[in-house]
Chains A and B, each alone.
Chain A
Amino acid sequence: MTVRRAFSLVILIFISLVPAAPAAVFDDIARDFAPLSGYVVMPADGEFLVDLDATGGIRVGDLFSVVHPGEKIVHPVSGKVLGTLDRVKGFLQVTRTQSGYSQARPLNVKEEIRRGDVVRRFEHIPAAFLDATGGGRPIFNRLRTALPGLEWRYEAVAGDGKRPPLPEVALLTFVLGPDGLAVRGPDGTLRSYEIPGERRGAPPPASIGKAASADFTVFGTLPEETLMADFGRDGDRLLLAVTEGTRIDVFAVGDNLVPVATGKTARPGRILSLHWWQPQPGVLPLLAASVAVEENRPYSPAIGQTVMGALFAIREGLLVPIREDIPYLLGSFDRDGDGVREALLGQSFDRDTFFGDRIRELRWSGNDLAIGELSFPVSRPFVVQGALFVDLTGDGRPETAFVRNRRLFVNNETDLLYESSRQMGGSLSVLTYDLNPGAADRLFTTVAFEVPPVAVDLDGDGRMEVVAIASEGSGLSGIGSGVRKSWLVTLEYRDGRFIRGSLGPELETPIQGLYASRKGVFVVATQVLSSRLKQKRGSHLLFLPLNDRTYR
């Protein structure tokens, strides 16, 4: 073999070994399921003929919706016709293609199909995405974007190697398994695609600012080194409070970030957590914070810290402390599922366990803060930080979902229902404190203030799912999270078990704030940037849009 031939062979081998660029798979899918419009020509032997054939890309098994064009949707300003409010009369599946036309059998016919009816390929078709890998959310999201005409639903199924049963309501089912993506119609598999391994459940991380290559978009820039953030609703307005440890900034999240107020604690300390609290409807919410302060003693080399609560109110553009030195760690909760956190709980600071046994309920009566016994039971163990109440199981009683020791736990009043693997949380808000303050030989430990998970009905089935933060980082860190990458995890309860999934792409930064609605997810991401002189942390508010038509 000559040198030239050998070199050419090496090139060919190299090219053949290079995997197809991941985007090419979705291009193929988009092409194979591209929308096409045509007409019903005539009925024939119990089936119908349509005026599309193989030259137009039609294949046996393709699905059409038969629509009755409805009222035109006209833009009120430009007068442009944006579309029509179509009414679906039924569906057709191609059984044979001929030159100039195709033959199709009727499915799920609701109204009589007539000659001249409009048919649309792969539009208004009920479709399901069955994820048997546990990490297929990113691929689902890409498919929804590539094929917006389908009426999507997402389901996680057991990845036990068996063929999962198809949902009854779906005519088109995309099944993601270890072997790839199979697309099935009513009669069987229509298409199969090989999905490269690195794309399943672990898409490339998104970089802040590079919206073109990531699903997260940069919504706004936040103060540097944001260590903790909390979102709260004030009527129709979404408020965001952030802190870098010494100062709190409040923004309104609308079309962009609008500064609302700023403030500090009166007593110097390190702000560790923030919780919006609406004790009374119709008034501005208050902001509760847990703050690490020096003990009330004269300075000594062995002086220790303690953790106290503080309460702030927004007054004329300032965040004013209205109560300090509250002797509890504070956390707010939405107990009735209306999206408003009306309950504020305080938990004692215990040096040995950090989150102590004593939990109290705080009430605000306009001018006075009252601390009393709990008016409802809580599961034990319970932590006021990194937790929420949510009815996941649908039994009418809220469970407690909380992140602690890098795991997500779900408890009901008496039992532990779910414990995740050690990947959850990873907050930058960390406290190092003395177990023996005042002693010459300091023994200290660290505790993380985790961002609480959020509850949202992602798939529109009337039952809430939990969205929580997961991360990967150093396993032996004594202080700080050392987060290398983070992502969003979903947890839902279905068929008697908890099913975990993921949402959106990975980020190469810790996530310090989280808010989710059916429109999308806001996250506060703080990126550590090392320069020769100084280590800086840039913070941004990112948004991950969720398609409304996805959830039914």
Chain B
Amino acid sequence: MRRFALLLGVILAVGFAGTAQAVDFKVHGDLNNRFMLYTDQAGMFNASETIKGAPIDKDGIDESWGEIKYRLWVEATTNDGKVKGVYAIELGAIRFGDSTALGGSTKGGAFSGDGINIETRWAYTDFQLPGVASKARFMIGLIPFTVNSFVWQETAMGVQFLGAAGPADLTLAWMRGRENFNTSKDDDLFEDLDALLARADFKPTKDSKAGLFALYQKRNPGSNGRVAFASASQYQVKLLGNVDFDIYTLGTDGSWTIPTGFGSAFVNWDLVYQGGSLDDNTAISRDISAFLAHADVGVNFGKARLTYTVWYASGDDNSGDDKIKNFMSTDVDRADSIIFFEGGYLDDNYFTEAPHILDKGLFFNKLALDYKASDKLSVGAAVLYLQTAKALAIGGGKTEKGLGTEIDAYLSYKLFADTEIAINAGYLVADDGMDAFETVKDGKSDADVFRSTARVRYIF
């Protein structure tokens, strides 16, 4: 047995050494320790996408906690860079003291730890087409996928091609967001939620970038097994139930930098149109027509950057008719607001991830000032005003668009080159539109919202 173990060890060592001669390994980590320092509306931040319920309590519910989310991944790359494999695991987020049951064990945050809390974050192979001098790479697997930051930017499974064609960079992809596994000969190949992407990026001038994209998403489960469509709960493509849809999303985005005498000014933009059709288990055949328009306008002067951000996402004021007018993101993580979006440092605890409020769209305004005090310290503040594009139903039979005025602030400091400590806070002076999300709907906003988060993050 000892000799066999020794032989096995030699074989493994030689085998590993032989592999290592052709492959370079890199190990990366993102060790993120986060804290909800304090919030007075725990219901609004006790999970992800709490916008689906009524999370705001008139009297407020205080809470604070700590948690961790750690990632480790390995890159294995051939010495010429032509092939790369990435595998990433993720631990958490685990809250300190969390003993929630999970799969026969717990999440592992309570005494002694020892829970079930490891997931796969990314797993893909990335390779260059042989015989092609220019960039022509395929990524296959569970990949970080981006169409546009308002449309789709998240991990997803599929096949993506990244290449160059003359002056343009091309992205082509087939992604499958949800599978309908066929179990009958009457099932066809188009019952899955598939997406096809074509995107081209250009540099029209040395100071500008522009992109054009076309995204086609479809799911055709047939008449058998369809469910009802409700825009109030199915306001993102990933939330659509087993309904028949064909959605095409066309857009352009880009940026332009303009040198000035005191610093560089810049403009970022996104213009997106959505069309298509959707059929559910009713007789209504719905047409989709929605849009989103966004712009950042800003200027860098010295160590400061002043930015005004505005966007308008269309909303739907009649979810019962045959027209879907609300812009639907697919799967995104907006972080523009600490109160409404994922602007806090706890990315599993937020009101909504989407750039719109349910199916009511959003008119978003933000004026932000960021200041890099030193190479280690960054501070900033922002004032936001949000209202929906179409009115929300609040108590007393009323409707209201106004959500409120928010004030955000943050501080980020580099303890070491790879370790950051950061703290931020947001305070929402709520308008009556927030009554739509309160536990007691009385036609007026009853509570402002505050939350402050922090993190200590080590990356390598």
The reply to whether B335 and A267 contact each other, CB–CB distance below 8 Å, is no
Q: Complex Cα distance A441/B70, Å? A: 11
Q: Complex Cα distance A353/B264, Å? A: 27
The answer to the question of A60 belonging to the interface, with a C-beta cut-off of 8 Å to chain B, is no
The reply to whether A301 and B459 contact each other, CB–CB distance below 8 Å, is no
The reply to whether B144 and A435 contact each other, CB–CB distance below 8 Å, is yes
Q: Helix, strand, loop or mixed for chain B's interface? A: strand
The reply to whether A438 and B149 contact each other, CB–CB distance below 8 Å, is yes
From A325, A380, A439, contact of B207 by CB (8 A): A325
The reply to whether B28 and A445 contact each other, CB–CB distance below 8 Å, is yes
Please provide the chain A residues from 396 to 425 with a CB less than 8 Å away from any CB of chain B in the complex.
404-407, 419, 422
The residues of A that contact B259 with a CB separation of less than 8 Å are: 324-325
| Residue with the highest number of chain A CB atoms closer than 10 Å, among B126, B255, B296, B459 | B459
The answer to the question of A302 belonging to the interface, with a C-beta cut-off of 8 Å to chain B, is yes
- When C-beta atoms are compared, the residue in chain B nearest to A369 turns out to be B206
From B26, B307, B333, B345, contact of A445 by CB (8 A): B26
From A298, A324, A436, contact of B368 by CB (8 A): A298
- When C-beta atoms are compared, the residue in chain B nearest to A435 turns out to be B144
Also in contact, A442 and B30, with CB within 8 A (given A296-B298, A405-B81): yes
Whole-angstrom distance between the Cβ of B203 and the nearest chain A Cβ: 7
The reply to whether A301 and B345 contact each other, CB–CB distance below 8 Å, is yes
Q: Complex Cα distance A306/B391, Å? A: 39
The answer to the question of B435 belonging to the interface, with a C-beta cut-off of 8 Å to chain A, is no
Q: Complex Cα distance A435/B86, Å? A: 12
Q: Complex Cα distance A297/B336, Å? A: 10
Q: Complex Cα distance A327/B257, Å? A: 10
The residues of A that contact B342 with a CB separation of less than 8 Å are: 301, 440
Whole-angstrom distance between the Cβ of B420 and the nearest chain A Cβ: 10
Q: Complex Cα distance A356/B203, Å? A: 14
Which interface class (under 10, 10 to 19, 20 to 34, 35 or more) fits B? 35 or more
The reply to whether B368 and A299 contact each other, CB–CB distance below 8 Å, is yes
Also in contact, A296 and B153, with CB within 8 A (given A327-B206, A380-B133): no
Indicate with 1 or 0, residue by residue over A377-395, a CB within 8 angstroms of chain B CB atoms.
Answer: 0001100000000000000
Whole-angstrom distance between the Cβ of A349 and the nearest chain B Cβ: 11
Q: Complex Cα distance A267/B262, Å? A: 11
- When C-beta atoms are compared, the residue in chain A nearest to B382 turns out to be A298
The answer to the question of B88 belonging to the interface, with a C-beta cut-off of 8 Å to chain A, is yes
The reply to whether A356 and B135 contact each other, CB–CB distance below 8 Å, is yes
The answer to the question of A318 belonging to the interface, with a C-beta cut-off of 8 Å to chain B, is no
- When C-beta atoms are compared, the residue in chain B nearest to A370 turns out to be B206
The residues of B that contact A445 with a CB separation of less than 8 Å are: 26, 28, 75
The residues of B that contact A419 with a CB separation of less than 8 Å are: 79
The answer to the question of A350 belonging to the interface, with a C-beta cut-off of 8 Å to chain B, is yes
Also in contact, A296 and B335, with CB within 8 A (given A352-B162, A380-B133, A444-B459): no
The residues of B that contact A327 with a CB separation of less than 8 Å are: 203, 206-207
The reply to whether A439 and B146 contact each other, CB–CB distance below 8 Å, is yes
From A297, A302, A476, contact of B307 by CB (8 A): A297
Also in contact, A479 and B296, with CB within 8 A (given A436-B146, A439-B154, A443-B144): no
- When C-beta atoms are compared, the residue in chain B nearest to A436 turns out to be B144
From A270, A326, A407, A475, contact of B25 by CB (8 A): A475
The answer to the question of B322 belonging to the interface, with a C-beta cut-off of 8 Å to chain A, is no
- When C-beta atoms are compared, the residue in chain A nearest to B146 turns out to be A436
The reply to whether B135 and A298 contact each other, CB–CB distance below 8 Å, is no
The reply to whether A439 and B144 contact each other, CB–CB distance below 8 Å, is yes
The answer to the question of A300 belonging to the interface, with a C-beta cut-off of 8 Å to chain B, is yes
Please provide the chain A residues from 422 to 456 with a CB less than 8 Å away from any CB of chain B in the complex.
422, 432, 435-436, 438-446
Please provide the chain A residues from 271 to 311 with a CB less than 8 Å away from any CB of chain B in the complex.
294, 296-302
The reply to whether B336 and A432 contact each other, CB–CB distance below 8 Å, is no
Whole-angstrom distance between the Cβ of A325 and the nearest chain B Cβ: 5
The residues of B that contact A337 with a CB separation of less than 8 Å are: none
The answer to the question of A266 belonging to the interface, with a C-beta cut-off of 8 Å to chain B, is yes
Q: Complex Cα distance A440/B268, Å? A: 20
Also in contact, A266 and B302, with CB within 8 A (given A298-B296, A325-B259, A478-B27): yes
From A435, A439, A443, contact of B333 by CB (8 A): A439
State the 10 A-B residue pairs at the shortest beta-carbon distance, nearest first. Answer: A440-B333, A298-B368, A296-B266, A300-B335, A436-B144, A268-B372, A298-B307, A478-B28, A299-B370, A440-B347
Q: What 19 additional pairs, Cβ within 8 angstroms, besides A352-B162, A422-B24? A: A296-B257, A296-B266, A296-B298, A298-B296, A298-B307, A298-B368, A299-B368, A324-B264, A327-B207, A353-B135, A436-B146, A439-B333, A440-B154, A440-B342, A441-B155, A441-B347, A445-B75, A446-B28, A478-B26
Which residues of chain B have a CB within 8 Å of any CB of chain A? 24-30, 71, 73, 75, 77, 79-81, 86, 88, 121-122, 126, 133-135, 137, 144, 146, 149, 153-155, 162, 164, 203, 206-207, 255, 257, 259, 263-264, 266, 268, 296, 298, 300, 302-303, 305, 307, 309, 333, 335-336, 342-345, 347, 366, 368, 370, 372, 375, 378, 380, 382, 410, 418, 422, 459-460
Q: Can you name 21 A-B residue pairings with CB atoms under 8 Å?
A: A268-B375, A296-B296, A297-B296, A298-B309, A299-B368, A299-B410, A301-B342, A324-B264, A353-B135, A357-B135, A371-B206, A405-B81, A422-B24, A422-B79, A436-B153, A439-B154, A441-B154, A443-B144, A446-B28, A477-B27, A478-B27
